[in-house]
Structures are given as structure tokens and as C-alpha cells.
Amino acid sequence: MRADIKIKVCMGPSGIATGGADVIEAFKNEINSIGKKAIIEERCSLHQVGCLGFCAKDVLVEVVVDGKKTIYEYVKPGMVSRIVKEHILEGNPVTEWIAGEEYYNFHKKQIKVVLSNCGEIDPEDINAYLAVGGYEAARMALTLMSPEEIVEVVKSSNLRGRGGAGFPTGLKWDLSLKIKSDVKYVICNGDEGDPGAFMDRSVMEGDPHSVIEGMIICAKAIGSHQGYIYVRAEYPLAVKRLQIAINQCYEAGLLGENILGTGFDFDLKIYQGAGAFVCGEATALMRSIEGKRGMPTPKLWRSAEKGLWEKPTVLNNVETFANIPRIILKGADWYSSLGTERSGGTKVFALTGKMKNAGLIEVPLGITLREIIYDIGGGIENGRAFKAVQTGGPSGGCIPAELLDIEVDYESLALVGSIMGSGGMVVLDETDCMVDIAKFFLEFTQAESCGKCIPCRVGTKRMLEILNRITVGNAKEGDIELLEELGQDIKVTSLCGLGLTAPNPVLSTIRYFRNEYEAHIKDKKCPAAVCKDLITFSILEEFCNGCGACKRACPADAIIGKRKKIHKIDPEPCIKCGTCFDVCKFNAIMKM
Amino acid sequence: MEEVLEKILTTYRKEEGNIISILQYLEETFGYIPENAVNWFSKKLVIPASRFYGIATFYAQFHIKPPGKNIIIVCSGTACHVKGSDRLISGLKREFNLPEGEDTTADRKFTIERVACVGTCGMSPVALINKQVYGKMTANKLIKEIKILKGKKTGR
Ligand SMILES: Cc1cc2nc3c(=O)[nH]c(=O)nc-3n(C[C@H](O)[C@H](O)[C@H](O)COP(=O)(O)O)c2cc1C
Ligand code: FES
């Protein structure tokens, strides 16, 4: 038999952004060009796949010859003809373009459950999903299992909600199952509000069928016949691929009336969000689907009883649903054994910031932060020193170097003042100012506060004002204590999760980096040289060779000096934009 | 315009839609929410215009003012923030001579927007020029791209 060849091109978010479509086009043209077409066509197939994970090296292309995988990194259309000629036609991989050791280290400690199909199968092809056992779990759930049995499996898998709060999924379903009602809803939360995270996006775009299958199983478990997937407005490709997947399901009899001939009905619709962070909160999301302003409602009733249109509703995160088919197929014991005693399974993280190897990763719960950052992520870029890792986005906190050996699970992250969150993990280095980071998140939550409750609406504004005056050098003695007091009050009196967690970035940075706050307040200095009003730029004479690059780049004409002579910065017109610092190749610009 | 609005109204009634979906259709069709369109729907559906505006201003997706011909989006998510997205914004504002609080150039050729994370954090800082994603940006690189656009008479 002749060799079977598969070419897979990453068309995840960053694969597309770096020109994945052009690479696919180039492969198509190359294969179709006379002569080659006849030789390869019927044994070679070309696939677009979801995120392959190692986004820092996109476009990634995987060439599989008789099951033997080769990964090429940084692929450009111009490289395609050599790959086709040497690797595919002649059988000799182009060694200098193959992903190196880093790629394998990046994957060594990962366990892919939710992401097992991402980067493997074509997300727009239901047959590709069926070929890897897709909808087998739904078939089992619909034909062989009672609702109670499904709930029992999910319960004992120890799966906890991946949207942030970590509520046990089985328990949530159980509550809903026990409520009697003709109409119940299943909602998938694909709002992904954390600014700096793309886990759910990658799952929706890379393996949309797994989310739909999870929802069908949930519908059967609680007795619901209508589901919604709420997708963030900024994710048009996720909407497109989910819609394709839903259409394919209707055609294949996996959605609609009498699914798989079992007599069970379930309809599924996509609802596009309109861009408001608070709409990721469960009750606000339901108001938004109802067409109203997305304001949270106090949880006098659990959504299990009164959710969407006041009907019993189960709402889960994208990743939570994507876990379900795997749990049903492989069993609760297998899943729970992957994690820790308190939280089963794996978690997807978007590892970003000052990382050498940024990307999308999936790790077993209980792994340490150090393993994630150094073994998988390859450490800090540009040889700088690690300072902190931010988890949980605007609701989370910053974890300093001395705590890198804690195990990642819901409880231990909460214990150190952060949260697990939905999976954003932003790594900060010595050049990041912790007060600036706290201010960044508070600006975000303050702007996104829906305004319904006073502690959140007014409290976050007051906190932001204090942070602003700290970063411009106008702070007063006692401002740190005031921030702490306000933060504690907001944390206990706000209406919804947005306000209840908004002070976390501030409180956690005060807890671990108090001296940085003090330097801003007492010495009017920003130790990391970030806060504009507290730093000055100057030129180090011994390094300046008068090349003039800074002078040409300066937008404020603040740099003086003749060619080949030492240059100077005039502090008066200088707007502290940092352009000179970026363009100087001789490290002659100093900011302090 | 009336014709388009009628069509939106028919779809709305057919889909048993809500105000958000009307606004989404308007945004898609016009690129913003025109005041006379809101008034038109307000009359037809007997819903006060303030309800429409209450919702339109709540969500980031809706624009009340018409945007410029070219839209430049600078990601201001966490990953991009720590990699210097602020410098991209201030660089652009200088290039366009935009006064504080203004986001569209006087000739309506360019609009600058910020969004929280476009989902390609691996290549931060990120900017989008008319939906095309540019990664690992610097203010100078961005301005170079814009100069190319200024030279060409391109639309969206
Ligand atoms: C302000 C705020 C924003 C939220 N954003 C999201 C989000 O973007 N995605 C998400 O899945 N959950 C989000 N949540 C959590 C949801 O309220 C809810 O707990 C979760 O979606 C439930 O699903 P799970 O049990 O599967 O995690 C947010 C909560 C709050 C308070
Ligand atoms: S933070 Fe900018 S792309 Fe995610």
C-alpha cells in the first residue's frame, strides 16, 4: 500500500493572524500543479485544524506520513514548495524548519482531554469528529443511560465548573434534574470576558462538536429541549464554526426532533453577545438573551429553579461542556484520577505575557505554577527575571515568585489571594510595575461595572482614583490602608461576582508588593520604571555613539545632538513615550 | 433607508427577536446606530427611544457616532497591556493629532478603538487594521502601515 499523507495547517486564532490561509492556499496550488497532482492527490489530504497550542511559533504545519508526525514551525507560503518536493514527494523532511526541542518540552507535561481534537481534526467537518469517536457519548447517554446515571457519572468525575467559580458540575445538574418543569434550558457560556485569555475561543473554533455533544448530554440529563450558546461578539469565527457544526448536527439527526431515533428532542441556537464583561455572569447573561441590559440579579433563587425567562436553567462554561463527552466515554474514575482529590481532571490555560513560549496549554490540576512557567513555557523571555503570575483576570490576583511551588487548584489559588478563574495566566517580569497592573484591572472592572449596586459602581471608582494619584506621584500617607479598607468593603457588599472580586488585583499586589506601592507614595519613584509621571529619560554618554536613531524617531523633537556626537534629551518637550528606549540598539537610553 | 428598516422589522417579527437583535442589525447595516433609525423603530414598536439607547450604550459593540472609513483596533487586554499597547495608542493619537476624548480623525478617514483581548495573546501587542490582525506591533510599525493606507484610496 502506498503511504497515506495528511497535511494539517493551524487555523486557530493566531494561525489565521500569521497567514495560515495563505499557507493552505500555497499547499493547494503546489499539490495541484501539473505532475504533482497526479502523484500525490489521492493519497494526500489537506486539513485546516484548530489551535495546535504553540502560538508563539505559528504558522505551525503538521505533516503526517503513515502516522509519523513532523511539525514545521514559522511556515510561510514561500516554504511550501520545498516541503512538498522534499518531504512529501521524496520522503526527506526539511530538517532545518522542523520544530525543535522547545516544541516537545512545551508538550511533555501537558495532558490533552478538552484539547485532544484541537489541532488534530478539521472543525468544519462532522465526519472528522465522528471518526475519532464523536457523538458516541451522546449515543450512550441517550440510549443506555438514565438521567440519574448521567448525573451520577458527572458527579463522581469530580468535574468542577471551568468558568471561574468552580461549582461542582454534577451537583448543579442534580439540582436541576430534581425540579419538575415542562420547560428547562441549557446554556453554554462562551462569553470569555477575561481580557487576556482565549481558551474557550480555541475550543469553540477548534472542536465545536465537543461542546454541542456536551450540551446534548446535559439536556438529556436534566430533561431540557432548548439550548443556547452565548458567544462573545469579538469571536465571529467561533460563531461561524459553531453554526456550521449545528447545521451538520441537524442534518445528521443529532439535533432537532427524535434525536438518533430515541424520541428525545433538543434544539440549539447561537446567541451573539454584544460586548459587556458583566454578561459573562450567569444572571446577566440570561437577561442579555432576553434582550435586556445585562444586569445581574440577586440570587434569591438559584438559576436551577428560576433562570432564563424564569424557567429552570443549567448554565455551564464552554470547557465544562467539552469535558462531558470524554467523561461519559472514558469513565468518571479515569477523569478524577487526572486531577487532585478536590478537583478532577485537567484545565486549559492561556499562557501569555513575558513568556518565552506563549500559547494554549492543558495540564492536570495539581501541577505546580513552576512546572507550567518553566518546564512548559520555557521561562521568561529576553533573560529577564520573573516577578509574578496573574491568574483569574480582573477577578484574580498576582502570585509572587516565592509561591511558585503551590499546586494549581481552586482552593490553593484562593488561599494565596487569587482565583483559578477561567484560565488566563499572564506572566510578569521585572519590568512590570505592580501598581500599574492593579490600576489596569481596576480601570477595566470600573468601566465594566453595570452600575446597579453602589459598592461596585462608586467603590471601584474611588479605588481607581487613589491608584491614579499613586501612579502620578500625588498620593497621600495612608492611601494603601484606605485601598485595603475600601477593597474589603466592596468584597463583602457587592451584588454580583464582578464587584465581589474586583478588589482582588489591588489587594493581592498590596499583599505581596507593598514596597512598590510605598516607593510610589513616599519616594515618588516607580521601581520598574513604568509610571510615566515618575520617571525621566536620559542618555548614557558612555554608550551613545551618535547614530541619531533616537533623534529621528522622537515624535516630540526632544533629542538634540550632532551626528556622531553624544546626544542629549531635553526634559522640557519630552513626552516620555519611550520610543527612543525602543529604537536604541546600544542600550544608551536610561529610564528611572 | 426606510426599506432597509422595514426589512429589519420583518426579520425581527419573524424571529420573535428583541431590541438587541434590532440594534445588531442596524450596526451591521450602517456601521453605527443612526438616531433616525432608532426613532423610526421607537414609533413602529411603541417602545421609547430611551430603551434603545439604554441598551445601545450598555454594550461595547454598538456605536452611537458614525465611525471613520478605516478602523484601527488596538488590543488593550492584559497580555497586550504588559507588552506596551498604551504606547501604540498614544503613538497613533500623535500621528492623527487626535485631541483627548476623540477617536475619529476630522476627515473621518480613521477611527481608533480599543478592545479587551482579541484572542491572539501569543503575539501581543496586537492591532487590527480593518480586521486584518497584526502581531508583535510597535508604534512605528503601526504608523508605517497606516501611511501605506493613507497613500492608497482604500475603503473598508
Ligand atoms: C463578572 C463575571 C464575569 C464572568 N465571565 C464569565 C465568562 O466569561 N465565561 C464563563 O464561562 N463564566 C463567567 N463567569 C462565571 C459565570 O457566572 C458562571 O459561574 C459560569 O459560567 C458557570 O459555568 P461553570 O460552572 O461551568 O463554570 C463570570 C462571572 C462574573 C461574576
Ligand atoms: S490581550 Fe491582546 S490579544 Fe489577548
Higher pLDDT, A397 or A53: A397
* Residues 6+ away with beta carbon under 8 Å from A102: A356, A357, A378
Residue A432 and residue B82: Cβ atoms within 8 Å? Answer: yes
A286 within 8 A of A187, measured Cβ to Cβ: yes
> Residue A53: CB within 6 Å of ligand 1?
no
Q: CATH assignment of A5-103?
A: 3.40.30.10
**What's the Cα-to-Cα distance from A238 to each of A56, A208, A227, A229, A455, rounded to whole Å?**
21, 8, 17, 11, 35
Q: What is the ipTM of this complex?
A: 0.86
d(CA A387, CA A402): 10
Of A13, A426, A583, the CB nearest to B79: A426
Q: What is the pLDDT of residue A142?
A: 97
Ligand number with the minimum distance to the CA of A347: 1
Q: How far is B152 from chain A (nearest CA, A)?
A: 22
Amino acid at B133: V
CA of B111: how far to CAs of A516, B27, B63, B73, B130, in Å? 37, 16, 12, 8, 10
SS3 A116: coil
- Candidate from B60, B81, B122 with C-beta closest to A275: B60
**Rounded mean pLDDT of B109-122?**
88
Residue range A129-154: mean pLDDT, rounded: 97
C-alpha angle with apex A537: A533 to A539, nearest 5 degrees?
175
Backbone phi, then psi, for A207, in 5-degree steps? -155, 60
What does DSSP assign to residue A474? -
The tens digit of pLDDT for each residue in B81-109 reads 999 999 899 889 888 888 888 889 988 89
Beta strands in A502-569 (DSSP E): 537-539, 559-560, 568-569
User: Quick check: helix, strand or coil at residue A590?
Assistant: strand
Q: Which ligand sits closest to the CA of A419?
A: 1
Q: Count CB neighbours of B68 within 10 A.
A: 21
Mean pLDDT of chain A: 92
Whether B82 and A277 lie within 8 Å, measured CB to CB: no
User: Does residue B140 sit at the A interface (CB-CB below 8 Å)?
Assistant: yes
- The DSSP output letter for A453 is S
Query: How near does any CA of chain B get to the CA of A189, in Å?
Result: 16
Percent of chain A with pLDDT over 90: 72
Chain A residues within 8 A of B19 when measuring between CB atoms: 291-292
Q: Chain A: residue nearest B62 by CA? A: A274
**B111 Cβ under 8 Å from any chain A Cβ:** no
Which architecture does CATH list for A346-429?
Roll (3.10)
CATH class, range A536-591: alpha beta
Shortest Cα–Cα distance, A421 to chain B (Å) = 14
Q: Is the pLDDT of residue A100 over 90?
A: no
Neighbouring CB atoms inside 10 A of A485's CB total: 11
Q: Where are the domains of chain A?
A: 5-103, 126-336, 346-429, 434-523, 536-591
Task: Compute the distance from residue A352 Cα to the ligand 2 centre, in Å.
Answer: 9
Nearest CA residue ID for atom 8, ligand 1: A192
Does domain B70-151 correspond to CATH entry 3.40.30.10? Answer: yes
Find the A356 Cα to ligand 2 centroid distance in Å: 16
Sequence ranges of the domains in chain B: 2-58, 70-151
pLDDT for residue B154: 47
Q: Using one digit for the tens of pLDDT, what is the confidence trace for A336-348?
A: 999 998 889 999 9
Amino acid B156: pLDDT: 42
Residue B68 Cβ contacting ligand 2 at under 6 Å: no
Residues B39 and B41: their CA atoms lie apart, in Å, by: 6
How far, in Å, from the CA of B147 to the mean position of ligand 2?
24
d(CA A421, ligand 1 centre) in Å: 9
Select from B24, B120, B126 the Cβ nearest to the Cβ of A274. Answer: B24
Q: Is the CB of B124 under 6 A from ligand 2?
A: yes
What fold characterizes domain A434-523?
de novo design (two linked rop proteins) (1.20.1440)
Fold of the CATH domain A126-336: Rossmann fold (3.40.50)
Highest averaged pLDDT of the listed ranges A23-32, A128-137, A291-300, A378-387: A128-137
- Residue whose C-alpha is closest to residue A194's, from A420, A455, A509: A420
Q: Which residues of A touch B58 (CB under 8 A)?
A: 276, 293-294, 450
- Quick one: pLDDT at residue A35? 67
User: What pLDDT is stored for residue B149 in this prediction?
Assistant: 84
- C-alpha cell belonging to residue A353: 505575557
The confidence score (pLDDT) of residue A186 equals 98
How confident is the model over B33-44, as pLDDT tens digits?
Answer: 999 999 999 998
Place of cell 488534530: A120
Instruction: Flag if B54 and A293 touch (Cβ within 8 Å).
Output: yes
